Amino acid sequence: MNKEMDELAFERRAIARGEYPRFRLMARIEHMLLLTSFTILCLTGLPQKFPFSPISQGLIALLGGIETVRMIHRWAAVVLILGSVYHLLTSSYRLFVRHERMRMLPDIKDAYDLRDTVTYNLGLQDTPPKMRKFNFGEKFEYWAVVWGTAVMIVTGFILWNPINATRIISGELIPVALLAHGWEAVLAAVSIVIWHLYNVLVKHRNKSMFTGMLDQHIMEEEHALELERLARGNPAYPVVPPDVLRRRQRVFFAVAAVVAVLSLALVIWLFTFESTAITTLPEATRDVFVPLATPLP
Ligand code: HEM
């Protein structure tokens, strides 16, 4: 029996117990890694952006001083980057080997669902729209994380290796990278607290990222089409014959191994490249020579 049949059997057993499968174990582990690395990056990055706040100063002292804070920020960044590479590889596996639909790509139904959700919330229609496993709001959040992480990784590496970065980009762009990195961090932290935590913890008590299962009332309200699919017992994806699957896997694993080794080498190389932004230079003690302005004739 191949993986698709295993998944189908797993879904049927869960539904028989009155549970609705939402996230695989590996997706939950990936989310835990993202949650941990993102929290550490905020706790070690935001105090550097707002250094005069007493909260920042207390946090920096608690963590062992500014240089330790910088090192923790870099280690957490490495976890975030390797987690992102892993996500790219597993998404490519589902796309190229199992030929799954790209369920996170937005389409016209998401626009209709958004319109119908607004009219339902305004009391202009009686029932909410029937939505799929990932609805328009979840897709929006997903793509916000994707582009946000890309911006943080690119600007983060510029700040990490500022001298060498100027071999490729103009020096004027270093402070631009600092501004983009800092304010994108503020945007990300605020939207996680206001939007994400509200949606998963306040609006519903959604524990699916920890248990893997979603409650029936959330399925009915936000994923009615997925609920219908599970009730009918239809597979989520086309079943791939085992010999075809093995052939595709051989090619995929060879390419994935090369990508994984290259990414790891790139991260180690960038990590050890330059220590400019880690060391705190002592304050200048000599007077700086400032020439007197020449009086105009
Ligand atoms: C989403 C995750 C991240 C958040 C929330 C975050 C947050 C921040 C913030 C708020 C600052 C201070 C900016 C300022 O002073 O204006 C900062 C600095 C910095 N970040 Fe990040 N960051 C993240 C990811 C990364 C990544 C992926 C890298 C590396 C590739 C990185 C490397 C740096 C560096 C080198 C600095 C300069 C300060 C230092 O020496 O530690 N950050 N970060």
Q: Which protein residue's CA is at the shortest distance from atom 13 of ligand 1?
A: 182
> Does some domain include residue 153?
yes
CATH of the domain at 139: 1.20.950.20
Tokens of 44: 């070690």
Euclidean distance between CA atoms 18 and 22, whole angstroms: 13
Q: Is residue 280 part of a domain?
A: no
Global pTM reads 0.87
Helix (H) or strand (E) holding 117: helix 108-121
Asked if residue 129 belongs to a domain, the reply is no
> Rounded distance, CA 227 to CA 176, Å?
47
Distance CA 134, CA 137 (A): 8
Residue-level pLDDT at 3: 64
The CB of 97 under 6 Å from ligand 1? The reply is no
The answer to the question of residue 14 being in a domain is: no
For residue 136, the CA-to-ligand 1 centroid distance in Å is: 29
Q: Alpha-carbon distance 140 to 144, whole Å? A: 6
Q: 183 is in which domain, residue-wise?
A: 23-100+135-211+241-271
Residue 245 belongs to some domain of the structure? yes
Asked whether the beta carbons of 177 and 155 are under 8 A apart, the reply is: yes
Per-residue pLDDT in tens (0 to 9) along the chain, 297 residues: 466 667 777 777 777 777 788 998 999 999 999 999 999 999 999 999 999 999 999 999 999 999 999 999 999 999 999 999 999 999 999 999 999 888 999 999 999 999 999 999 999 999 899 999 999 999 999 999 999 999 999 999 999 999 989 999 999 999 999 999 999 999 999 999 999 999 999 988 899 999 999 988 899 889 999 999 888 877 777 788 889 999 999 999 999 999 999 999 988 887 787 777 667 666 666 666 666 777 776
- DSSP, collapsed to helix, strand or coil, labels residue 213 as strand
Within-domain flag for 162 = yes
110 assigned to some structural domain: no
CA of 156 to the centre of ligand 1 (A): 5
Number of folded domains that form the chain: 1
- Return the closest-CA partner of residue 30 out of 80, 74, 92: 80
pLDDT of residue 177: 97
Q: Which atom of ligand 1 is nearest to the CA of 69?
A: 41
pLDDT for the residue 13: 76
Residue 4, in any domain of the structure = no
